[in-house]
Structure 1
Amino acid sequence: MSGGARVCSGYSNVREELVARFKCPRKTDGVDEVYCCGFSDLKYCCNEAGNYFPYPHGYMWSLSIGAMVGLGVAALLLLIFIFSAFVMCCLYFYNKPQGLDSGLKLQSLATSPLQEGKSNS
């Protein structure tokens, strides 16, 4: 069947019911919906020629469900990553040392005990 047809041929829908052929536009369709569009198990009138897919309608639903599951998993992983990064940043700033301590005691040269010992000898 071509997408530019004005008559939709009969078909068997998802519930295995036989749908008789019909002419586009039907009473329930708009005046500009003169082309037969849809799937091999779901046909309808539309206003754009070539909008016909030879695959069953159920086939497209399985693709949609798979895509939704994939997008859901990706979104969940993204949220986990963002939450983990936020927690790690908070822990870093909470536990960050306030000042650097090298462990060495710094003293003035004038009062250094080593200098006093050398000047006395």
Structure 2
Amino acid sequence: MSSECTSYYSAENVFMNGSSCPKEGSDPSATFCCGFNDIKYCCDDPNSFFPYEYGYMWWLRYVRDLY
């Protein structure tokens, strides 16, 4: 089983090519694309991709902690 991490722009606005999971030479159980719109990586949890930017998620956590 494998999945695709589509191309994206990183938080530094650098274009990153898409890739398949698992990556060659990495953990064979990392078959899912995980992370955020601007940081993607392979992992073993099918529920670990969030369609937001990484910084936005940290901002939500900060706001939650204020209240």
TM class by shorter chain equals: 0.7 to 0.9
Structure-1 separation of matches of 2:25 and 2:10: 19
Unaligned runs of 5+ in 2: none
Structure-2 separation of matches of 1:29 and 1:43: 15
1:58 and 2:55 are equivalent in the alignment: yes
Structure-2 separation of matches of 1:11 and 1:30: 23
1:19 and 2:16 are equivalent in the alignment: yes
Aligned residue for 1:10? 7
Between the aligned residues of both structures, percent identity stands at 32
TM-score normalised by structure 2 residue count: 0.80
| Higher share in helix | 1
CA contact (8 A) 1:29 1:45 kept: no
Aligned residue for 2:28? 31
Q: Which runs of 4+ in 1 moved over 2 A?
A: 64-68
TM-score normalised by structure 1 residue count: 0.48
Aligned residue for 1:41? 38
Task: Kindly provide the amino acid, as one letter, of the partner of residue 37 in structure 1.
Answer: C
Q: After the TM superposition, which residues 68-79 of structure 1 pair with which residues of structure 2 at under 5 Å, given as runs?
A: 68=65, 70=66
Structure-2 separation of matches of 1:34 and 1:26: 8
